[in-house]
Chain A
């Protein structure tokens, strides 16, 4: 019977449009399935390990991806217990479907200009990105980092013509790491996570485009889910997150 079920699951996953590895074995109360924004990959993996260590016998399973994609998966019935989104808008998609519990903003993330370590185009501030000779990558407006980039550029009254609108912040960062573009707008946390492969340049207009990250337990989530959210909101959780470059709400 179990074999048949897993076969069925395999067939169903072939049908799934998004190619994200969302393997979730919900059911056992010792399991928590957490859907989290791609920018939380490092910190949440760390918190998951701490959670499992503090609660022996439990297992935290993650599905990291673009918040917008995750929100779509949840509304289409993906069995998630916790959703941590990179923007209130993507959380709203889930809340509008009546699937989200109480939402709490747990961190904020700011944009920075990322440039290759040798900074070939000599970028120093946001205005330098308007130079047509400077190749710029931005996130597509449909994903949170892209929406934040538009907001920051609007606040500065600048118009940038990027060479590409990438599908998520990690793809945008990769284009800088490979030196294919001269600059990109990504989160400060991504600059820190790249460990020296890109250089971050803070800019004042970023304050006008701060991204709030809300977290919520989802409909029919086990009690353990709330416990994981509590860990994220605790001092211990905050320490892990701020060390990675996130700011307290």
Chain B
């Protein structure tokens, strides 16, 4: 046994699992059913799942082409662009939320134009939640897909090109199937990040039950007065996300592996 690996590995596992155990131990099991049946809980859960999924779709539509651009093309400033794309990773999410307000808010650079042209403003809407989640989660997808693209063998693409396929056809018929597992892994990471998003959401989209109050926001506010309710909400979010991730893994990732 290589103890130098096993001991830190065990410590790492304990470190990650122990807080979870804490939640389980302190959960108010006896009042669990009635707390779960509160309409606000289901509302927040539904909103969380819908917004995280929509955010993932947006990230896929915009993020996969962006990853392709970063991995397969060469243009001046590509390195800089790559660094900029990962900014939301290092930015504290609350700062991300403020930045979104300054751009997309009612008096923001783009937002004031949206407001005057369409009478529409993103903050405090469900669409605003999706935007905040997509902003924070997209780098996870871009990095995963870019990594997969770089690891993929370009000779397949070159072969397709020599046979007369256009660049878009190559991307659609050769590249995309080749990196599908990477895209999936990225999408799962992206979805998980969006589901847990708190700071950017509460700053940019505010907090209103049924419209912008996702599970993490509900947990935070419950913690102010009722720590037990916060534990229940956390467990629900955890159970649902683990269930979905396991189901996805068996269905797609498992089949690919």
Contact = CB atoms under 8 A, between A and B. Distances in A.
Contacts of A142: 221-222, 224-225
Contacts of A175: 206
Given A135-B124, A164-B124, A166-B206, A180 B224 contact: no
Interface string B87-115: 00000000000000110011100000000
Contacts of B209: 165
A232 B225 CA distance: 27
Contacts, number: 63
A208 interface: no
Interface in A146-174: 162-167, 171
Interface in B199-231: 202-203, 205-209, 212-213, 220-225, 227
Nearest to B101: A178
Contact of B208 (A69, A163, A178): A163
A165 B208 contact: yes
Contact of A180 (B107, B207, B222): B107
A163 B223 contact: no
B19 interface: yes
B186 interface: no
A143 B220 CA distance: 12
Interface residues of B, number: 25
Contacts of A162: 208
Interface residues of A, number: 23
B208 A167 contact: no
B105 A17 contact: no
A130 to B, nearest CB: 17
A142 B221 CA distance: 7
20 contacts: A15-B19, A18-B223, A142-B222, A142-B224, A163-B123, A163-B124, A163-B206, A163-B208, A164-B124, A164-B207, A164-B212, A165-B206, A165-B209, A167-B202, A171-B202, A175-B206, A178-B102, A178-B105, A178-B107, A180-B124
